[in-house]
Amino acid sequence: MVKSNSISNDLKRILKAKHHDPFSYLGVHQDNNAYVYRAFLPKASEVALKVASKWVKLNKTHADGLFETTLKTALKSQAQLQITVGEHVFETHDPYTFGSSLTQDELYLFGEGRLMLAYKTLGAQVMQQNGISGVRFAVWAPNAERVSVIGSFNDWDGRVHSMRSHGSSGVWDIFIPHLTTFDTYKFEIRNRHTGAILVKTDPYGFEFEQRPGTAAKISASHHQWQDKQWLESRKKRDWLHSPFNCYEVHLGSWQRNNENHFLTYRELATTLVPYVVEMGYTHVELMPISEHPLTESWGYQTTGYFGVTNRFGSPDDLRFLIDAFHQANIGVILDWVPGHFPKDDWALARFDGTALYEHEDPRLGEHQDWGTYIFNYGRNEVRNFLMANAHFWLNEFHIDGLRVDAVASMLYLDYSRKAGEWLPNKYGGRENLDVIEFLKQLNVMVGEDFAGVLTIAEESTAWPAVSRPVYLGGLGFSMKWNMGWMNDTLSYIEHDPVHRRYYHDKLTFGQLYAYSENFVLPFSHDEVVHGKKSLLDKMPGDAWQKFANLRLLLTYQMTSPGKKLNFMGNEFAQGREWNVNSSLDWHLLSPDYVGNEWHQGLKLATKDLNHLYQSLNALHTLDFEVQGFGWIDCHDSDQSIISYIRRGLDNSFVIIVLNFTPVLRNAYRIGVPVAGQYHEIFNSDAACYGGSNQGNGSGLTTENIAWMHQSQSLEITLPPLAGIVLQLK
């Protein structure tokens, strides 16, 4: 017999929701030659147990909801109960008669930081156990005395579904039968040191309720992917020598409906996808679409790393959108934020009452600029969380690349900190050794498991070999944003043309390091917010000069070596700064808008540049190699003109000449490498773009005059504030 004081003590801990192992008391347990069955159901007035096809009424042995009976033999299957609550009678199975379906291999690999499919182990998994449908919940909370699943199915009562502890792994689990995708849930955690009760949303939750609610939703996918051909071609794609021209999009403010409501993922599949195809982009980059509470954070303060934001629909709706992009031959890059997380008390912050995902010491664990916590990358389970999250997006949503946000803030222990506000590494340096190892592991995993998928670092310092393979000592990213090029270029173009001669080196300096990394040339969202003005508004001069300067800037970007990225609105000269709470100013393109021809012209110029970049081997195949670029003349600072050659793998070439002053240059001589006839295949000053229509429409024939270290030369008409592209016929 079980001693009565032991039973009484167990029951007392059950009633107070303090029991770390409720499975040892509830369910079926042998008592000498008989079996005792116990169920704790605080809301029930009557409970019956099915035994050999008959319902046996249980005795209520405690007023707070303990029901018991004695059985002569063990149950042959999971306990089936008939429960009466008020006037309502329903049937279910008892969770405490199901064993754990977690394996020792899963727990071991998770503890080692190597369980890449952790999102199929932890969280809420819709599954069958012993032929019965339900949901297995699992959560990592090593400093908990007790963890319970609370939800819409148990009146958020932490006493009812206390979970099973898996010892030193820190993992807890329980299988609850008959739940549906309509049910919401959280975890209630009692800290073992302080006794404090915390209510937390699921770190591995796939879906969440609408704001301001914070509960996770049970979720299952039913999407049937139609992108097999895309995925197969992606594996074989030579991305180093392929065009990459990315359209950065914030889904909530790209376009809205007539009531200023968000477009859904499925609506975006019929609007955004054809627009991206029409404009000639090769990829879209979605700003963070993980669940986040505050729209104004743009998604960068994530509370649900495995959850798709429900602002625009369900996870399957997002799959539908990505599938539509793939069927249109457009790749999808996800803006991914493994560098920090917000302090919301219902999410990851101090998850089990301790600094679990973050560092305890604020000199390591707090990001001062953003008011967020920094992940503890040296902890295996935390690193596993992030690695599995990357795997999740690539595997479950067929994402084609991860743009990793704020890499510089991760790499440096003293990032944005004064002396005394940071702790050095074990060698006394400022480098975060745990982050270095994490990023290397991440990039190796992506390369091994997802052939053809890209990783792109937003890294703003001169950290070496960011986009070089791990086996060569690099961090292993595919590409890196060229923040130096972006800052120099915008700084230059913002000067009045009369002064640009004094800043000519800002156009030429970048070639000194242009091939040290695989660079992306970005004009991102960060450059058109917080008082920085829109790209159009950065341009000096009157309206004509502003638009001409912007067409020239985009021509320079699209013909320079490096892959490309532009934020939405850049392509049609959005006039005001980006506002996350409203649509882009699409009315600027309307025939009813006075001045629409300027914006229509810039949109057409962008479209033509994008298609030119894709179609010309010379403009993309050697983006990362010095053989793909050569100066014709980088010294003409007095006239603010630069000219260069772009070459392709097939030995084709084009000539680019850019005039950064509003002065028309007639009979301007440039050197060219090959004799023959050249024709102008792009001119940003064309009348259809809103320009003055000066150029070389009739074609050009070389003269046997050596010039600028070239054997041949041309006399060209160089339009004001414009760029031209010449090709040998």
In a shared domain, residues 111 and 192: yes
206 close to 291: Cβ distance less than 8 angstroms: no
Active site residue 505: no
In a shared domain, residues 93 and 111: no
Q: With bands split at pLDDT 50, 70 and 90, how would you rate the model's confidence at 698?
A: confident
Q: Which residues contact 344 (CB under 8 A, 6 or more apart)?
A: 214, 293, 303
In a shared domain, residues 129 and 90: no
Catalytic residue among 207, 316, 352, 405: 405
In a shared domain, residues 110 and 211: yes
66-125 pLDDT, tens digit per residue, is 999 999 888 888 999 999 999 999 999 999 999 999 999 999 999 999 999 999 999 999
Q: With bands split at pLDDT 50, 70 and 90, how would you rate the model's confidence at 3?
A: very low
Mean pLDDT of 578-601: 96
As a whole number of angstroms, the distance between CA 441 and CA 446 comes to 9
Q: Look at 8-12, 252-256, 485-489, 597-601 and tell me which has the smallest mean pLDDT.
A: 8-12
DSSP codes, 226-274: --HHHHHHHHH--GGGS--EEEEE-HHHH-B-TTSPBPPHHHHHHHHHH
Which of residues 97, 129, 151 is at a domain's end? 97
Which of residues 69, 97, 125 is at a domain's end? 97
Mean pLDDT of 705-719: 96
Please tell me the predicted confidence (pLDDT) of residue 7: 59
Q: Look at 8-12, 121-125, 649-653, 715-719 and tell me which has the smallest mean pLDDT.
A: 8-12
Choose among 126, 146, 152: nearest CA to 213. 152
In a shared domain, residues 146 and 93: no
307-337 pLDDT, tens digit per residue, is 999 999 999 999 999 999 999 999 999 999 9
In a shared domain, residues 201 and 109: yes
Is the pLDDT confidence value at 482 over 60?
Answer: yes
Which two three-digit tokens encode residue 532?
């920085």
In a shared domain, residues 213 and 108: yes
As a whole number of angstroms, the distance between CA 16 and CA 3 comes to 20
Domain assignment present for 508: no
The CA distances from residue 441 to 356, 377, 434, 464, in Å, are 21, 11, 11, 17
In a shared domain, residues 115 and 195: yes
Gyration radius (Cα) of the chain, Å? 31
Please tell me the predicted confidence (pLDDT) of residue 358: 97
Please tell me the predicted confidence (pLDDT) of residue 368: 87
Please tell me the predicted confidence (pLDDT) of residue 76: 82
Report the number of distinct structural domains present in the chain: 2
Tell me what the pLDDT averaged over the chain comes to.
96
Please tell me the predicted confidence (pLDDT) of residue 241: 98
166-212 pLDDT, tens digit per residue, is 999 999 999 999 998 889 999 999 999 999 999 999 999 999 999 89
Give me the domain span that covers residue 62: 4-97
Domain assignment present for 299: no
In a shared domain, residues 42 and 120: no
According to DSSP, the residues that pair with 56 across neighbouring strands are 49
As a whole number of angstroms, the distance between CA 728 and CA 699 comes to 10
Helix, strand or coil, per DSSP, at residue 361: coil
Mean pLDDT of 494-507: 98
Catalytic residue among 145, 188, 458, 488: 458
Please tell me the predicted confidence (pLDDT) of residue 432: 97
Domain assignment present for 677: no
Domain assignment present for 226: no
Identity of the amino acid at 646: R
Which two three-digit tokens encode residue 75?
């149950």
663-678 pLDDT, tens digit per residue, is 999 999 999 999 999 9
Domain assignment present for 705: no
Please tell me the predicted confidence (pLDDT) of residue 2: 38
DSSP codes, 459-525: --S--TTTTS-GGGTS---SEEE-HHHHHHHHHHHTS-GGGGGGGTHHHHGGGGTTTSS-EEEEE-G
In a shared domain, residues 79 and 153: no
Domain assignment present for 645: no
Mean pLDDT of 350-356: 97
204-227 pLDDT, tens digit per residue, is 999 999 989 999 999 999 999 999
Per cent of the chain over pLDDT 90 is: 95
Please tell me the predicted confidence (pLDDT) of residue 79: 93
Please tell me the predicted confidence (pLDDT) of residue 508: 97
Assign residue 200 the CATH number of its domain: 2.60.40.10
Per cent of the chain over pLDDT 70 is: 99
Please tell me the predicted confidence (pLDDT) of residue 599: 98
Identity of the amino acid at 244: F
Mean pLDDT of 140-144: 98
Which of residues 217, 247, 278 is at a domain's end? 217
In a shared domain, residues 109 and 203: yes
In a shared domain, residues 183 and 93: no
Please tell me the predicted confidence (pLDDT) of residue 274: 98
Active site residue 650: no
Domain assignment present for 21: yes
DSSP codes, 163-230: PEE-GGG-EEEEEEET--TT-EEEEEEEETTT--EEEE--TT-SEEPSTT---EE----------HHH
Mean pLDDT of 341-348: 97
